[in-house]
Every structure is written in structure tokens, then in C-alpha cells.
Amino acid sequence: MLDIRAEVANALHWDIAIPRHRVTAKVDGGWVTLQGVVEWAYQRSLAEADVRRVPGVTGIKNEIAVRGLDYDQPTTPDEVDDLLRGRMKILGLDVDAIGREFHEVFDKIKRNCPSCSDREACALDLKRDPNTLMWEAYCPNSDVLNALVALTEVIR
């Protein structure tokens, strides 16, 4: 039996023009929904073309966002704070308690967010599928946030 999900993942994986960990595919029967963020429009088109060639795919919904070269646009401190707080909340972390108890760590991770080139991907992940693990592939704070989760579980 043909495993469309595996074939789609394989097609995306082996196309070197498509950034790994930036594009995901959800398969429902023969319908494939592509999601993620890429830098160039051609990458969005290639991902769709790759998936279209997979036997058994009957339709594609391409929700891949094109970030473009303006991704370094300024982000307000409130926007950065919202992203970080949103991610921490989804991870089950008490943001205010972490800020009080581990203020040096909290300050460090807050400094990483404004210079991160993946803020848009982070915002899209939080909005679209907050429980996705894709953020761990691009977030410069992933190790620290996961350590805080482990630490708070031990304390509880």
C-alpha cells in the first residue's frame, strides 16, 4: 500500500531548494496541505510541484508563506514579548514566575528574540499550530526553554 504521507515527506526532504524544517505537509486522504515559511516564491512553487508529482496526491492547499528579504524589519518590544510569552505559555511555563525566579535566564532569552531571523515563522507557528515542535529547529532559545520546562517539572 502506498504511504502518501511518507512519499510527500520524502519528496520535500530531497529537494535541496526547500529549506528543511521550514515546510510541513499534512495529508488527509489524497489532499495535502503545505505550511511553513520560505524566503523565496520559487521555493513555495517547488514544494507544491514536488508534492504534485507524488502518486496518490489528488489536491494541494499551499499555505506556505514567503518571508522575502525584508524579514529583518524592526519588531517592537511588545511583539517580541508576545512571541516569547506565547511560546512559554504553550510550554506550560509560568512566565511571571520564571521572570522572578530566573530573571537572568529570562533576560537572556528575551535578548535573543529581537535579533532572531525566524520571528515570522515563530508567529505563524504560534497562530497556526501552537503545539508543533517545528519551533525547536529554528528557535535560538529552544534548549533553554526545554530546560526550564524540565526544571519546573522537577520542582512541582
pLDDT at 75: 58
Strand order of the sheet with strand 31-38? 23-28, 31-38, 59-66
Closest CA to 85 of 143, 133, 145: 145
pLDDT at 156: 65
Query: Residue 154: CA atoms inside 13 Å, Cβ hemisphere, count?
Result: 6
pLDDT at 27: 94
pLDDT at 68: 61
Is 144 in contact with 105 (CB distance < 8 Å)?
yes
Residue numbers of the chain with a pLDDT score lower than 50: 70-74
Residue 152's alpha-carbon distances to 79, 98, 108, 139, in angstroms, are 26, 9, 18, 20
The domains located in the chain, with CATH, are 4-66 (3.30.1340.30), 77-155 (no CATH)
pTM of the model: 0.53
Q: Where are the beta strands (DSSP E) in the chain?
A: 23-28, 31-38, 59-66
DSSP, res 105: H
pLDDT at 116: 75
pLDDT at 74: 45
pLDDT at 119: 76
